[in-house]
A and B are shown apart, each in its own frame.
Chain A
Amino acid sequence: MDPEAAKYIGAGIACLGMAGAGIGLGNLFGQFLSGALRNPSAADGQRATLLLGFALTEALGIFSLLIALLLLFAV
């Protein structure tokens, strides 16, 4: 296979890792909403935890995007 082509295919495959981050983020906000609707008075106190979880989860998806970008521009 042409190495150039393999590079682009690899970048595409690396982006699949972001699906995991998508599932995680959906899970995170879904669980927060279901908890918050059950007990709205406790929801405000957990907003910082929610954002922390969002940033940590999103970072994992960005790791795979980083691999794709490295393949595209740096290799």
Chain B
Amino acid sequence: MAAGDSPIKQFEIKEYFPIEVFGLNASFTNSSLYMVIAVSLISLFLILAMGGRSLVPTRLQSVAELIYEFVRDTVRENVGPNGMQFFPLVFSLFIFVLVLNLLGMIPIPGVTFTVTSHLAVTAAMALLVIGIVIVYGFYKHGLGFLSLFVPSGVPGWLLPLMVVIEVISFISRPVSLSVRLFANMLAGHIALKIFASFVGLMLGAGIFGILLAPLPLLLTVALTALEVLVAVLQAYVFAVLTCIYLNDAVEGGHH
């Protein structure tokens, strides 16, 4: 890696097969490639692990069951027992984000790419979640879903202001949900790249630089460990917040 490389070059989208649909650019890019790899890995893992369906699980099967039970408990705690029909959605979102985050942590020169570090991808997932909340909320509660915006126990003169605040907080949910994941991934990868480039800079800066170069290298290793933690945590946070938002749709405005 040249020291002068811009740290955001790693987020560049490369077109592999140019495809155009009705004037829109729908090319097969490195982003699509990573998504295909992630989905194939997840499907292969789950099919291989659960194919045996033995009563006493094998090692692979118990890993799959652990993930399943972890997400199931999260959904049950945060959406409630009435919300178990959303389990497949939350499970898919969680494992998709998790695998994409972790795949982005594997450094392959010139190829490696983190799909979740692009706002377009995370915004699509967040809008899907909020869209489901709105559609299911109106389907289940009718216009009563709007009572979500009217907090209980507020004096009458304060109510118009509170309704406005509640509406703004609802609208900002997809924004914060998508920007949280995207910004974490983007900032983490940029920080890694900057600290890694310090090593190269110091190696070229004389004898003192060479003596001190292991320090940023150690820091890069520590940052990588933190980034793996963040990759898992952010997938979990995305799933938990999805559950909390779905809870509004399932339970209506009684909160």
Measuring CB to CB, which residues of chain A are less than 8 angstroms from any residue of chain B?
Answer: 51-52, 54-56, 58-59, 62-63, 65-66, 69, 73-74
- Per-position 1/0 for B179-193, Cβ under 8 A of A: 110011011001000
- Per-position 1/0 for B136-175, Cβ under 8 A of A: 0000000000000000000000000000000000000000
When the two chains form their complex, are residues B237 and A55 in contact, meaning their CB atoms are under 8 A apart? Answer: yes
- Per-position 1/0 for B40-75, Cβ under 8 A of A: 000000000000000000000000000000000000
Measuring CB to CB, which residues of chain B are less than 8 angstroms from any residue of chain A?
Answer: 6-8, 179-180, 183-184, 186-187, 190, 230, 233-234, 236-237, 240
When the two chains form their complex, are residues B183 and A59 in contact, meaning their CB atoms are under 8 A apart? Answer: yes
Q: List 5 A-B contacts (CB under 8 A).
A: A51-B236, A55-B237, A59-B184, A62-B183, A62-B187
CA distance A52 to B183 in the complex (A): 17
For B233, list chain A residues within 8 Å (CB).
51, 54-55
Secondary structure at the B interface, as helix, strand, loop or mixed, is helix
When the two chains form their complex, are residues B7 and A73 in contact, meaning their CB atoms are under 8 A apart? Answer: yes
A55 → B minimal CB distance (Å):
4
Given contacts A52-B236, A59-B234, A62-B184, 18 further A-B contacts (CB under 8 A): A51-B236, A52-B240, A55-B230, A55-B236, A56-B180, A58-B230, A59-B183, A62-B180, A63-B180, A63-B183, A66-B179, A66-B183, A66-B186, A69-B8, A69-B187, A73-B6, A73-B7, A74-B8
For B183, list chain A residues within 8 Å (CB).
59, 62-63, 65-66
For A59, list chain B residues within 8 Å (CB).
180, 183-184, 234, 237
For B186, list chain A residues within 8 Å (CB).
66, 69
Shortest Cβ distance from A73 into B: residue: B8
When the two chains form their complex, are residues A65 and B237 in contact, meaning their CB atoms are under 8 A apart? Answer: no
